[in-house]
A and B are shown apart, each in its own frame.
Chain A
Amino acid sequence: MTAIRRAFDVALLLAVLAAIWQGLYMFAGDVAIASPAETVRHVFVLLERPRFWGHIEETLSAFAYALVISWAGGVGIGVWLGAHRLSGEVAEPILVALYSLPKVTLYPLILLVFGLGMPAKVAFGAIHGIIPVTIFTMNAVRNIRPVYVKAARVLRLSPQQTVTGVLLPATLPEVVSGLRVGFSLTLLGVLIGEMFASKRGLGFLIINAIGLNDVETMMAVTLLLFVFAAAANAFLLALDRRLHKRV
């Protein structure tokens, strides 16, 4: 019953979004925005073009590398800063300042270091995602309740058993929240990177379509990205909620 209700709610939300979209289309006209039906049709047109799949592959590769760096780097640095109080206290204000900084201001520097192409996109995606993952992980480690560590000692656990059996599961809910935020921001970073300095990828396709006023392509690529991000986020959010429900 709950699953049916949830499916109904999702369908209703999608219908409302489509109705708003259609309303905007009717208000602004096809010079500014494509209709939902036309956008969906154009998605299939794009998917039939072999060159389009090259752009998808380019974006997905850059995103995968950037995501691995943000998740692994963020968790590693976060654990270190959370466990080492002085380092955490020194790094926290710097991390918060970097988090609020529009990363696009760093893009010229990244281009100078990495040049045009895949490495710059990966670096730009990673700097977007790594900071929230670090901050969430650092707080997760700091917020471990001391009584869990005492309980581990009373249960006579080895250091390895304490880490795998107590510390890791105790921090997991907050870390997964960080990974979820990191996922979205890494994707955003890769796409912005492709929009500003790239000749391939979905971000490039969008900025190119904007330049040519190819509204249908712009809307179709955006819709595809929306579907991908929403599906991945729904999975991570479900995992996040499941873990938080137990805490």
Chain B
Amino acid sequence: MTVFHAELAGVARTYPGVAGHPAVHALGPVDLGLVRGEFFSVVGPSGCGKSTLLEVLAGLSPASTGTIVFEGAPVAGAVPDGIGVVFQEDASFPWLSVWDNVAFGLRRAGIEPGETERRVREAIAFMGLKDFAHAYPAQLSGGMRQRVCIARTLVLRPRLILLDEPFGALDAQTRLLMGDELLRLWRETGATVLLITHALDEAAMLSDRVGAMSARPGRFIDIVETGWPRERDSRIVAQSGFGKITGRLWTSLREESLKALGHAHGAAAG
């Protein structure tokens, strides 16, 4: 029997109705087991519950049904030690310099100053922010601010890193390069990574496994094993197998994406 690093069993999430609006069944039920050290991506149509899945797994949002287990302990009500999250939105603190942003979590956790300085220096160098350590987020591009957020997560040495469309706002070329950095980070830290993305090529390039989700309420309709070696980078997009993976993902998702569009049209018409 496989012992998963993190596991969701029968997890569903329904948002209660507010101000006359009906309750929204956003997710599941889903079952998912993440193997320690793997890179797993989740793709699916807009509004299918991908971000909800991440928030439930992180302990940021409660599951309506089902159980979530991280390193053998149930996740409920709080973010467990060992989980780091990078959000789609820029979450860097604009009132702090890059250095202070990255050091923020360590200082609040009471880590000894010498150790804090060492870890921050390493993370800043790793994310290529050395020349901007004393800059403020407002002085950086969107991609660099996202790197600050990744560095802030990294210094806490998470064993499970959850990324919610972290490169969603970046152009295609920058996303490929950020993908390379993400792969390097994954290899060097040995962490388990769960990436939420709407880009099939990004998921196919980065992941060991890709889960395709149905339209809302999101369920896994296909899980594709990419078979890529651990040592890989963005150049694999030129390999013949890459097209097969994205093709299979699109075959699974096309109907679901049409359904999601139909929902949107129906809602607009109604």
B95: contacting residue among A147, A150, A170, CB under 8 A: A170
CA distance A175 to B93 in the complex (A): 17
How many Å from the CB of A104 to the closest CB on chain B? 39
Q: How many Å lie between the Cα of A184 and that of B69 in the bound state? A: 57
Task: Indicate which residue in B84, B89, B105, B108 contacts A147 across the interface (CB closer than 8 Å).
Answer: B89
Known: A153-B60, A156-B81, A165-B104. A147 touches B138 (CB 8 A): no
**A residues in contact with B58, CB < 8 Å:** 154
Name the prevailing secondary structure of the B interface residues: loop
Q: Across the two chains, which residue of chain A brings its CB closest to B88? A: A147
Report if A148-B93 is in contact (Cβ < 8 Å); known contacts: A153-B60, A247-B138: yes
Cα of A161 to Cα of B138 in the assembled complex, Å: 24
**B95 lies within 8 A of A155 (CB):** no
Residues of B with C-beta under 8 A to A172: 95
Whether, in the assembled complex, A116 has its beta carbon less than 8 Å from a beta carbon of chain B, the answer is no
Q: Is A151 an interface residue (CB 8 A)?
A: yes
Give the distance in Å from the alpha carbon of A247 to the alpha carbon of B96 in the complex: 10
Is A169 an interface residue when CB atoms closer than 8 A count as contact?
yes
| Interface residue B1 (Cβ < 8 Å from any Cβ of A) | no
Bound complex: CA A246 to CA B104 (Å): 17
Interface residues of A in 131-148 (CB under 8 A from B): 145, 147-148
Instruction: Please determine whether A153 and B79 come into contact, CB atoms closer than 8 angstroms.
Output: yes
Q: State the Cβ distance, A73 to closest chain B Cβ, in Å.
A: 25
Does A245 interact with chain B (Cβ within 8 Å)? yes
Within 8 A of A (CB), among B125-154: 136-138, 152-153
Q: A150 with B94: in contact, given A245-B138, A246-B136, A246-B138 (CB under 8 Å)?
A: no
Contacts of A170 in B (CB 8 A): 93, 95
Query: Contact: A151 with B108, CB < 8 Å?
Result: no
Determine which of A148, A161, A169, A245 lies in contact with B108 in the assembled complex, contact meaning CB atoms within 8 Å. A161
Docked-complex contact A247 and B94, CB < 8 angstroms: yes
Shortest CB-to-CB span from A45 to chain B, Å, is 48
In this complex, how many residues of chain A approach chain B with their Cβ under 8 Å: the count is 20
- B267 is an interface residue with CB less than 8 A from chain A: no
List chain A residues, Cβ under 8 A from B153.
Answer: 154
Q: How far is A147 from B84 in the complex, measured between Cα atoms in Å? A: 14
Distance in Å: Cβ of B180 to nearest Cβ of chain A: 25
Least CB separation from B149: chain A residue: A151
Nearest Cβ in chain B — how far from A76, in angstroms? 22
A234 to chain B, nearest CB (A): 22
Given A150-B87, A153-B60 in contact, is the A246-B94 Cβ separation under 8 Å? yes
In the complex, how many residue pairs between chain A and chain B have their CB atoms under 8 Å apart? 55
What sequence of 0s and 1s flags, for each residue 90-103 of chain B, a beta carbon within 8 Å of any chain A beta carbon? 11011110000000
**Which among A155, A157, A161 has the highest number of chain B CB atoms within 10 Å?**
A155
- Roughly how many angstroms separate A105 CA and B174 CA in the complex, as a whole number? 61
Q: Is the beta-carbon distance between B91 and A150 smaller than 8 angstroms?
A: yes
Question: In residues 67-122 of chain B, which contact A (Cβ within 8 Å)?
Answer: 78-79, 81, 83-85, 87, 89-91, 93-96, 104-105, 108-109
Whether the pair B91, A147 counts as a contact (CB closer than 8 A) is yes
Q: A166 at interface (Cβ–Cβ under 8 A)?
A: yes
Which B residues are in CB contact (< 8 Å) with A145?
89
The complex places the Cα of A99 from the Cα of B58 at a distance, in Å, of 44
- Output the least CB separation between A239 and chain B (Å): 13
CA distance A169 to B79 in the complex (A): 23
Q: Which A-chain residue is minimally distant from B96 (CB atoms)? A: A169
Residue among A148, A156, A245 with most chain B CB within 10 A: A156
A89 → B minimal CB distance (Å): 12
Q: B93: which of A150, A156, A166 is its contact (CB, 8 Å)?
A: A166
Alpha-carbon distance A245/B139, docked complex (angstroms): 10
Query: Of B87, B109, B137, which contacts A151 at CB under 8 A?
Result: B87
A157-B108, A165-B104, A246-B138 known; A151 and B79 CB under 8 Å? no
Q: Are B108 and A246 in contact (CB under 8 A)?
A: no
Of the listed residues B79, B81, B96, B137, the one surrounded by the most CB atoms of chain A closer than 10 A to its CB is: B79
A247–B92 Cα gap in the complex (Å)?
11
Please name 8 pairs of A and B residues whose Cβ atoms are closer than 8 Å in the assembled complex, sorted by A. Answer: A147-B89, A154-B58, A156-B79, A169-B95, A246-B94, A246-B138, A247-B94, A247-B138
User: Which are the 10 A-B pairs with shortest beta-carbon distances?
Assistant: A155-B105, A151-B91, A169-B95, A147-B89, A154-B85, A147-B91, A247-B94, A246-B136, A246-B94, A154-B79
6 new A-B contacts, CB < 8 A, other than A150-B85, A153-B78, A246-B94, are: A147-B87, A147-B89, A150-B87, A154-B60, A246-B137, A246-B138
